[in-house]
């Protein structure tokens, strides 16, 4: 096991340790796909997210399913930006290249689903990326009171889980950075 998990890394080491254990158990690809699916609408935009889907992560390559050559060509023009966004948001996945294949993406969430509130169980199931978790850890590190520090970290985690849940359910980023529900919702 890598040293950084054993040497007082505190909460900073927990996401890495979990990823390491899941990787050992062969579930790393499932975790990677869950992370990507949670942020996919933010990576490619709502319209393209409805026409594409992360299908597989393996050996530094992300395979993306698209329904037609037209959507393939559209995503191909955005390939560099998509790759940079994924590398910034999920560096722990180690994605170095994209592969676009023809396939049928799962149907997108319906607008009705976007207006419902997620249950606490649904929010708990949202996996935060290592980058977001590190941002939370770095932000609360300066708080001296341990109880206040943990409450702030929990609040920040819940905020990011809700944001990722909303993005996965059709909400769109506004120019201000806030999220808007889908039109007609």
Which domain-ending residue is among 81, 102, 123?
Answer: 102
| Least confident among 9-18, 24-33, 174-183 | 9-18
The torsion angles phi and psi of 99, rounded to 5 degrees, stand at -135, 120
pLDDT tens per residue, range 126-155:
888 888 888 889 888 888 888 888 888 888
DSSP 63-100: EEEESSHHHHHHHHHTHHHHHHHHHHH-GGG---EEEE
126 and 62 within one domain: no
Answer with the residue of higher pLDDT: 31 or 110: 31
94 and 47 within one domain: yes
Total tally of structural domains belonging to the chain: 2
120 and 67 within one domain: no
Structural domain including 142 reads 111-180
Predicted pLDDT at 175: 64
d(CA 54, CA 81): 15
Q: Is residue 6 part of a domain?
A: no
Q: Counting Cβ atoms within 10 Å, is residue 49 exposed (0-12), middle (13-18) or buried (19+)?
A: buried
33 and 97 within one domain: yes
The torsion angles phi and psi of 63, rounded to 5 degrees, stand at -95, 130
Q: Is residue 71 part of a domain?
A: yes
pTM beyond 0.95, yes or no? no
Q: Are 109 and 153 in contact (CB under 8 A)?
A: no
Which domain-ending residue is among 68, 102, 136?
Answer: 102
Q: Is residue 76 part of a domain?
A: yes
**Distances from the Cα of 61 to the Cα of 70, 73, 83, 99, angstroms:** 22, 18, 10, 7
Q: Is residue 17 part of a domain?
A: no
């Amino acid at each position: 096991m890598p040293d950084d998990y054993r040497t007082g890394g505190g909460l900073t080491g927990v996401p890495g340790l979990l990823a390491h254990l899941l990787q050992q158990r062969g579930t790393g690809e499932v975790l990677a796909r869950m992370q990507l699916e949670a942020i996919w609408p933010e990576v490619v935009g709502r319209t393209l997210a409805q026409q594409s889907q992360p299908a597989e992560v393996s050996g530094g390559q992300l395979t993306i399913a698209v329904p037609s050559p037209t959507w393939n060509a559209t995503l191909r023009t955005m390939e560099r930006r998509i790759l940079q966004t994924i590398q910034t948001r999920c560096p722990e996945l180690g994605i170095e290249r994209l592969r676009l294949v023809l396939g049928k993406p799962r149907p997108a969430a319906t607008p009705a689903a976007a207006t419902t509130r997620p249950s606490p169980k649904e929010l708990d199931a949202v996996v935060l990326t290592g980058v977001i978790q590190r941002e939370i850890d770095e932000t609360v590190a300066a708080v001296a009171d341990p109880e206040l520090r943990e409450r702030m970290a929990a609040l920040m985690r819940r905020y990011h889980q809700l944001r990722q849940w909303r993005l996965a359910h059709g909400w769109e980023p506004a120019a201000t950075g806030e999220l808007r529900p889908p039109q007609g919702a």
